[in-house]
Amino acid sequence: MNNAKSWTRNLLLIVSFLMSMGASAQIISPPQWTVSLSTEQPKVGEEVKLILQAQIPAGWYIYGTDFDPDLGPLVTTLILDESGAYERVGSLQEIEGKKKYDEIFEGDITYFLKEGSFEQLLKINSSGTISGILEYQMCSDLTGQCINYEEDIEVAYTVIEPVENVSSMESNSSDEGETLFNQIDSEESKSEKESLVTDFEPEGATEESLWGFMVLAFLAGLAALLTPCVFPMIPMTVSFFTGRASSRSAGIRQAFIYGFSIIGIYTIAGTAVSAIQGPEFANWLATHWLPNLFFFGIFIVFALAFLGMFEITLPSSFVNKVDAKAEKGGLAGIFFMAFTLVLVSFSCTGPIVGSILISSAGGELIKPILGMFSFSLAFAIPFTLFAIFPEWLNRLPKSGGWLNSVKVVLGFLELALAFKFLSIADLVYHWGILDRDIFLVIWIVIFGALGLYLLGKIRLPHDSQLEFISVPRLLLALVTFMFVVYMIPGLWGAPLKYLSGYLPPMSTQQFKMEAGISSDSNSGYVLDEPVKYADILEIPHGIKGYFDYKQALRAAKEANKPLLIDFTGHGCVNCRKMEENVWVDPDVLRRLKEDFVMVALYIDERLELPESEWYTSSYDGKVKKTLGKQNADFQITRFQNNAQPYYVILDHEEELLAKPRAYDTDIQAFIEFLDGAKREFELRN
C-alpha cells in the first residue's frame, strides 16, 4: 500500500516543486481579513462580538483555535491592547472550522479552507477603539510551505448612551487594518494564485492516491477469487451459461450482462456508504476512538473467521429465494444469478469488502464507489470470461486445501491491519497502550506465525494434511520471514521508513540504542561556549547545530565550513517530512554532520528576548520582541521569502553558495544541492 501511495505522492511532489520554483523568491500574500462588530453602536454594558473573517488564497489553509496549542501548529491567537473602553469575555472562538487527525503532529487539529471565521466576545464600557494583533499560520500541502502572519486589528465604535463622568471618545470609521505583508497585485501573482488547485483539501490526494487505492481494491478482488467460497462458483457459472444462448453473439452478450450485474451489485454498496458519509462524518471516523475501536473489532472478527474459528454466513432462506429467481429465464435470471454469486461468496468476500469500505471511510466522497468498482471489476472479469469460454474450465486446478490456505493467509493480514485502528485511537487520546515497540512486537509475532504456517509448522481447523511444500508457498514463507527480520531492528529504534505509514511515530518508542549513550551537552560543537537556546530547541538525528544566526556564523568561520540555515518551525508539517524522509538518508545525514555548520532558525518560537535585543523591522516597521519573529524577519528581509522549510547555504561573507531550496523530498537533488554549495565554498577559499 505504501508503494501505491508513493506513486501519486511523488508525482504531486514534482508538480509542487515546479510550482514552488517560480515562487520561491517571492513574498506570498496573506489572506484578506475583514474585521467588524456584530453591533455598530453598542450600548454601555452590552456584550458584542468582534467578527474576524478571512478570504484564504486557493491552495492554502489556516489553523483554527480549537486544538492543543502544544501540539505543534500555530493556534490562531488574538492579542488585544489593554483598554478601559471594553473588556474581553472568554477567548477567541473559531466558527465551524474543519477538524482532522494530523499524523505528523499526532493529534487533532482544526483548520479553514477558502474562508475562515472567528469571533471574540467583548463587554463594552464606553466609546473607544478595539486594537490588537491577530497571529496565525497559513500552510499549503500543495507547495509544501507554512507561513506565520500577523494582522493588525483596529475597529472604532461609539456607544449609544455614554457613561456619566466618562468623556466620549471621537468616533472613527471602521478599518480592516494593515496586514503584515504587502499585497502583490501584479498579473504574475494573480496567475500564480489561479494556478493552484481551487478545491484543495489537505487530507485529500496528497495523503493517498485514488489510483493507488483502486489498484489495491483490484488486487483484493483477485485475492477473493482464490477463496474457498468463490473458486467453486466458477463451475456453477459455466453450467448456468452452457446451452443457454441461441447463438454465439447472444452468449457473449449474456456473459457481459452477468459481469456488469456483479459490478453493479458491489458498486451500489459503495454508493450507499458514500451517500451516508460526508466530510465531517469522515473526519469523525478517522479520529474518534469509538469508530476506530469498532473497526479494530470488525477486523479481529474477520480475521478469526478467515482463520477458521467460525463462519460468517447469510440466512440460508434468503439465499435460497434469490437462487430460485436465478432459475428463471431472461435478463432477470442472469441478474439474480449474479446476485446468487455475491451472496454465496459473502462469507469469504465480506471481510475483504468490509476492509475496503472501512479503509475508504476517511477519504473522499467518491472513494468507496471507486473502491467497490475496482474490487468487483477484478471479481467479475474471470466469471465473464468463463461464461464466454466454458472450455477453459478443464484447465483450472481442482479445489482443495490450497484454497483454505489462501483464506488463512488473508486472516493473518487482517489480524495485523486491525492494530492500525487501535493505534490511531491510542495516539489521539494518549492512552499509551500501543507504543511503537508494542506495535512492532505484535506484528513480528503475527508475521512470524504466518511464516510458520506457510512452512506447515502450524495447522488450523480446516487445513488439509500438507504432504509437501510447493515452491510458491516456500517463496512466500521466505518473503514473510524477511519482512519479520526487517522489523526486528525497529525494536531498538531503527526508522523502518517503508512502514512509516503504519507504525506509531518514533516519539512513542520506549527504547532506542542511542538513549543509553551519555555525553557532554556541549561536546561536538565548534565553539567553546554554551549553545544559545539549546535548552528549549533541538535539531533531529543527533546533528550538532546552533539556534542563533550570529553564533552559528562565528562557528562556521572557526570550523572553516559553509553555514547551512534551516528556516523551520515547530508547527511546520513539511519540515518534519523533510527531516523524516530526506535527512535520515545516510548520505544526506553524513553531509549535514560533517560538511556544514547548521543553524536551525525557528520562525514560530515565542521565547521573548531581553529588551536590549529588540529592534524595529525595516520591512514592516514593527518591533520584533521574540526569537521567532526575529528569525522570520531575517528570512524576509535577507532572502525575500517567508515560507518554511527553506534551506540557505552561505559562505563566511554571508553570500549565497547555491540557490536556496524549499520543500522537496528528492534525496538525490538535496545531495546535489549540498555538494554544489560545498564545491563553490572550496573554490572561493
- The answer on pLDDT for 591 being more than 90 is yes
Say yes or no to pLDDT of 458 above 50.
yes
| Spatial distance between the Cα atoms of 525 and 542, rounded to a whole number of angstroms | 12
Average pLDDT over the chain, rounded to an integer: 74
pLDDT confidence tier of residue 182, bands split at 50, 70 and 90: very low
Q: Which residue has the higher pLDDT, 252 or 317?
A: 252
The predicted-structure confidence for 65-101, as pLDDT tens digits, reads as follows 988 887 778 889 898 888 888 889 888 999 988 888 8
Specify the range with the lowest mean pLDDT, choosing from 63-72, 129-138, 336-345, 529-538: 336-345
C-alpha cell at 443: 506484528
State which of 181-185, 284-288, 548-552, 664-668 shows the largest mean pLDDT.
548-552
More confident residue, 476 or 269: 476
Reported pTM: 0.42
Which pLDDT score is estimated for 441? 94
pLDDT at residue 358 is higher than 50: yes
Across residues 548-558, what is the average pLDDT?
A: 94
pLDDT > 90: percent of the chain: 20
Would you say how long the chain is, in residues?
685
pLDDT in the model for residue 538: 80
φ, ψ dihedrals at 647, nearest 5°: -115, 125
Higher pLDDT, 269 or 439: 439
pLDDT bin (cut points 50, 70, 90) of residue 240 is low
d(CA 440, CA 481): 14
| pLDDT above 50 (res 191) | no
Q: Which residue has the higher pLDDT, 414 or 227?
A: 414
Does residue 169 carry a pLDDT above 50? no
Q: Which is more confident, 128 or 320? A: 128
Give tens-digit pLDDT for 257-289. 877 887 887 777 666 655 555 433 444 454 456
Name all domains of the chain by residue range, CATH numbers in brackets: 28-195 (2.60.40.1250), 210-423 (no CATH), 435-517 (no CATH), 549-684 (3.40.30.10)
CB distance 270 to 371 below 8 Å: yes
Number of CB atoms found within 10 A of residue 520's CB: 7
For the ranges 225-234, 422-431, 526-535, 602-611, the lowest mean pLDDT is seen at: 225-234
User: Going by C-beta distance under 8 Å and a sequence separation of 6 or more, which residues neighbour residue 595?
Assistant: 561, 562, 674, 678
Other beta carbons within 10 angstroms of residue 535's beta carbon come to 10
Predicted confidence at residue 252, as pLDDT, reads 78
Q: What is the DSSP string of 558-575?
A: HHT-PEEEEEE-TT-HHH
Q: Residue with C-alpha cell 462524518?
A: 281
Alpha-carbon distance of 86 to 551, in angstroms, equals 44
Q: Mean pLDDT over residues 215-240, rounded?
A: 64
**How many CB atoms neighbour CB 25 within 10 A?**
11
Residue 505 C-alpha cell reads as 511515530
Look at 357 and 459; give whichever has higher pLDDT.
Answer: 459
pLDDT tens per residue, range 620-650 = 788 999 898 899 889 988 988 877 889 999 9
141-155, 195-209, 585-599: which range is least confident on average? 195-209
Does pLDDT of 400 surpass 60?
no
Which residue in 19, 57, 50 sits closest to 34, CA to CA? 50
User: Bridge partners of 137?
Assistant: 148
Name the residue with higher pLDDT: 398 or 135: 135
At 50-66, the pLDDT tens digits run: 999 998 887 688 999 98
Return d(Cα 561, Cα 598) in angstroms, integer. Answer: 10
